[in-house]
Amino acid sequence: MNDYNSNKKTGKALIPRLRFPEFQNSGEWEVKRIGEFLTESKIPSYANDPRKRITVRLNYGGVEKREYRGTEAVDASNYFIRKKGQFIYGKQNFHKGAFGIIPDDLDGFESSQDLPAFDFAKFINPLFFINTLLRNEFYKTFETFTIGTGSKRLHPSELFKIKIPIPSLPEQQKIASCLSSIDEVIAGERQRLELLKAYKKGLLQNLFPREGETVPKLRFPEFKDSGEWEVTALSELGYLINGLTYSPEDVREKGLLVLRSSNIQDGLIDLKDCVYVRENIKGVNLIKPRDILVCVRNGSKDLIGKNAMIPEGIPLATHGAFMTIFRANNPEFVFQLFQTDYYDKQVRADLGATINSINGKNFIKYKFPVPENPKEQQKIADCLSSLDDVIQAQQQKIELLEQHKKGLLQGLFPNLKQLDNERCNYDI
């Protein structure tokens, strides 16, 4: 694969920067509207079986829909049979990455008209097409073609109008094969990550006593005769620090970092999405390394209770009013307590049916089984923290592979700025 820099004078040639040697003299890519190679499939569903339904997950494509309400009848005219290898997408979330290929094991499953499926023409490679859509430049185009005043949707008639550049089928297949090999590596690393997470979950269940018991199933040899664990309120393990309330007038481009729920990703502090306020703002409580940041209020119940430990070297920072800091006597051990089923169960019970927040007075009363010996607490924390380090390294490895693929997507496809993908009322 070599750099390919033809037509430097005009810069308009639809030729990728990176091209496989055997295609360097193959000329420009063609521009085709999606409607020229996709045909919507509408095979009526007569079985109307809610146990064989397809949904579309963001960045995964077609997957089995496992959640359904009993077997109640629905209007069969809204459901259609889908076939393996078809392209499927979600009308409402297409621009967020809700599209993909229907896998072999879902052949014959159903989806509603909100999840349309399409057959490919013979001159287009499905995986090449999917990777074309994964390019960042296309996401603004998708949003342009969505219609509606409230919940915007991308209808097939609009999807068909979008233009993409395509090379010959052999070159498509070469590009698809290259990117698929990277996808296989990424999938393997993701599987390893899930196994590591499952292993840690098992350790948590065994290193802490089960509900109603006073000693764990697994105990380090030096502590086998240390007696039973005691149920302890969180207030005995540390204290809460309230977050900062600030107004839009306090926000600055740089200054005091304010940590919010978006700064907790996969149990770690993530500083990709940051907000800053003026440093002389009143009512601020500065955070310290090894503090535990907890989301206690959010529009999404799923985010309530998520937490992360503040790492060393973080910039001068505080936390927002929808967050709290738990400053613990033994933070590494308490952080692991916050990863247990004990913690999750108490958070869910605290939320109730309608409340999307944890009350601080209730939070500090949460109870956990705790070994009396601080050395045993630290031993458990060290064991689980070392596994956290392995999990974090695995996450970083996946991120680097994904960045590598993004770089290839930029190089293996032509510059899309030349395409006039503006929404208008033209025919295919």
Instruction: Quote the mean pLDDT of the chain.
Output: 88
Rounded to 10 degrees, what is the CA torsion of 85, 91, 92, 94? Answer: 50
Q: How many helices (H) and strands (E) does the chain have?
A: 8, 25
Per-residue pLDDT band for 312 (boundaries 50, 70, 90) equals very high
Question: Does the domain formed by 168-225+371-420 have CATH 1.10.287.1120?
Answer: yes
Mean pLDDT of 97-106: 91
Residue 86 has pLDDT above 80, yes or no: yes
Output 3 or 159, whichever has higher pLDDT.
159
Mean pLDDT of 242-253: 94
CA distances from 147 to 112, 116, 142, 160 (A): 19, 16, 10, 14
Residue 69 has pLDDT above 80, yes or no: no
* Predicted pLDDT at 59: 72
* Predicted pLDDT at 45: 83
Residues 58, 139 contacting (CB under 8 angstroms)? no
Separation CA 148–CA 383 (nearest Å): 53
Up-side HSE of residue 365: CA atoms within 13 Å toward CB? Answer: 7
Tokens of 115: 């999840």
Residue 75 has pLDDT above 60, yes or no: no
Residue 172 has pLDDT above 70, yes or no: yes
The residues, any chain, with a CB within 8 Å of residue 89's CB and separated by 6 or more, are: 56, 98, 99, 100, 115, 116, 154, 159
- Closest by CA to 419, choosing from 161, 172, 163, is 163
Cα 67 to chain centroid distance, Å, stands at 20
Residues 200, 386 contacting (CB under 8 angstroms)? no
Separation CA 33–CA 254 (nearest Å): 44
Residues 25, 155 contacting (CB under 8 angstroms)? no
Up-side HSE of residue 109: CA atoms within 13 Å toward CB? Answer: 26
Output 423 or 326, whichever has higher pLDDT.
326
Number of other residues whose CB lies within 10 A of the CB of residue 85: 14
Tokens of 118: 């399409």
Which amino acid makes up residue 379?
K
Residues of the chain with CATH 3.90.220.20: 30-166, 230-370
Per-residue pLDDT band for 135 (boundaries 50, 70, 90) equals confident
Mean pLDDT of 199-207: 96
230-370: CATH topology is Adenine-n6-DNA-methyltransferase TaqI; Chain A, domain 2 (3.90.220)
Query: Which architecture characterizes domain 30-166 according to CATH?
Result: Alpha-Beta Complex (3.90)
Phi and psi dihedrals of 221, rounded to 5?
Answer: -50, -40
* Predicted pLDDT at 356: 83
How would you label 148-180 residue by residue, b for 16+ Cβ within 10 Å and e otherwise?
eeeeebbebebbbbbebbbbeeebbebbbebbe
Kindly give the interhelix angle for 169-207 and 374-412, rounded to the nearest 10 degrees. 170
According to DSSP, the β-strands at 251-252 and 54-57 are: unpaired
Residues of the chain with CATH 1.10.287.1120: 168-225+371-420
Phi and psi dihedrals of 56, rounded to 5?
Answer: -125, 120
pLDDT in tens, 341-398: 999 999 999 886 667 889 999 999 999 999 999 999 999 999 999 999 999 999 999 9
Residues 288, 268 contacting (CB under 8 angstroms)? no
Residues 261, 298 contacting (CB under 8 angstroms)? yes
Residues 181, 337 contacting (CB under 8 angstroms)? no
Contacts 24+ apart (CB under 8 A), 201-208: 203/383, 203/384, 203/387, 204/336, 204/339, 204/340, 204/341, 204/384, 205/341, 207/380, 207/383, 207/384, 208/337, 208/340, 208/342, 208/369, 208/380
